[in-house]
Amino acid sequence: MSLSKRIIPCLDIDCGKVVKGIKFENTRYAGDPLKIAKFYNEQKADEIALLDIKASYSGKNNTIEVVKKIANEIFIPLTVGGGIKTCKNIRELLNAGADKISINTAAVLNPKIVREASDKFGSQCIVVAIDAKRKTNKNIKEDWEVLTYGGRKNSGISAIDWACKMVKYGAGELLITSIDRDGTKRGFDINLIKTISQRVNVPIIASGGVGNLDHFVEGIKTGKADAVLAASIFHFGEYTIDKAKKYMAKKGISVRF
């Protein structure tokens, strides 16, 4: 097992500034995406994800400037998401230095965008992000629904079926976020991650709910995730990426130091 499992810190961006993660050990990193990205890079983050939380992507959006700044100085994969709708948007972000583009709501509204984008730019740069919410009906077997618009809108689509469909359409990777767990610090929705990971043959990034280092281990060992994404656990300085990797290595997970 030589391919390492990845840790991906996620920066939530609003108007060109990192939000949510303001509380570093010292405040000099506060808000500046480049400084925060550099800090994570020094800690051996395996990738960096940038999410434009207002999803208000437009050509003039600050996100492009943020991507340019980071890509000029940090040489690890950079995934960018939030409100991306067209191949033109994707082209602009790739030209700015992004490596992978994460598509969420736009894929639900128009699944063909995934096929078109993966044909044009290659599957390796198209990540489909799925926000999934557990269905509460006890009479049916365990299932999840895809939500759009940052978890605000129901789509009626089964997350498992959707994951399989998106892979057929050319997604090179899936980013699975549990809306039930997001922000709760109770850990990933392991059954959700595991069910999808076993059904598809592309790498799975688990997201939503990390509160301690055991959650990473659980997501990878039990959930069969290939990568784990987290925001607040790193932003607030509770844990460093290095510490997380050491812990995972101790639990027998292959990581990159």
Partner 1 sequence: MAIIIIDYGIGNLYSVANAIKKVTKEKVYITNDAKKIKLSNRIILPGQGAIKDCIKELKKKELYWLLKEIINTTNKPVLGICIGQHLLMESSEENKGVFGINYIKGIVKNYKNKNFKIPHTGWNIVYKHKEHQIWNGIKSGSRFYFVHSFYVKTRFKNNVLGVTEYGGKCANVITYYNSVITVQFHPEKSSSLGLKFLKNFINWLP
Pair of tokens at residue 14 = 């609003």
- Judged by DSSP in three states, 89 sits in helix
| Candidates 15-23, 48-56, 73-81, 210-218; binding stretch for partner 1 (CB under 8 A) | 73-81
Q: Which residue in 190, 202, 213, 217 binds partner 1 (CB under 8 A)?
A: 202
Q: Which residue in 16, 203, 212, 232 binds partner 1 (CB under 8 A)?
A: 203
Which of 101, 39, 110 is closest to 70 using CA atoms?
39
**Whole-number Å distance between alpha carbons of 227 and 236:** 21
Taking the complex as a whole, how short is the minimal distance between the CB of residue 70 and partner 1, in angstroms?
10
β-pair partners for 133: 145
Select which of 46, 52, 99, 131 is catalytic: 131
- Reply yes or no on whether 46 is catalytic: no
Residue 253 lies near partner 1 (rule: CB under 8 A) = no
Cα four-point dihedral sign 38, 43, 46, 51:
negative
Q: Provide DSSP, 120-177.
A: HH-GGGEEEEEEEEE---TTSPS-EEEEETTTTEEEEEEHHHHHHHHHHTT-SEEEEE
**Whole-number Å distance between alpha carbons of 55 and 195:** 28
Taking the complex as a whole, how short is the minimal distance between the CB of residue 208 and partner 1, in angstroms?
20
Q: Provide DSSP, 105-119.
A: HHHHH-THHHHHHHH
Q: Which residue in 66, 125, 128, 213 binds partner 1 (CB under 8 A)?
A: 125
Provide the residue count of the chain: 257
Residue 72 lies near partner 1 (rule: CB under 8 A) = yes
| Footprint of partner 1 on 100-119 (CB under 8 A) | 119
Taking the complex as a whole, how short is the minimal distance between the CB of residue 33 and partner 1, in angstroms?
16
**Whole-number Å distance between alpha carbons of 13 and 55:** 10
Q: What is the x/- site pattern for partner 1, positions 20-59, by CB under 8 A?
A: ---------------------x--x-x-------------
Residue 226 lies near partner 1 (rule: CB under 8 A) = yes
Which DSSP letter does residue 234 get?
A: H
**Whole-number Å distance between alpha carbons of 207 and 8:** 10
- Reply yes or no on whether 12 is catalytic: yes
Of 119 and 161, the one with the shorter C-beta distance to partner 1 is 119
**Whole-number Å distance between alpha carbons of 189 and 193:** 7
Of 120 and 152, the one with the shorter C-beta distance to partner 1 is 120
Q: What is the x/- site pattern for partner 1, positions 74-103, by CB under 8 A?
A: -xxx----------------xxxx-x----
Q: Which residue in 109, 110, 122, 152 binds partner 1 (CB under 8 A)?
A: 122
Give me the active site residues, please: 12, 131
Residues that bind partner 1 (CB under 8 A): 2-6, 41, 44, 46, 71-72, 75-77, 94-97, 99, 119-125, 172-173, 201-204, 226-227, 256
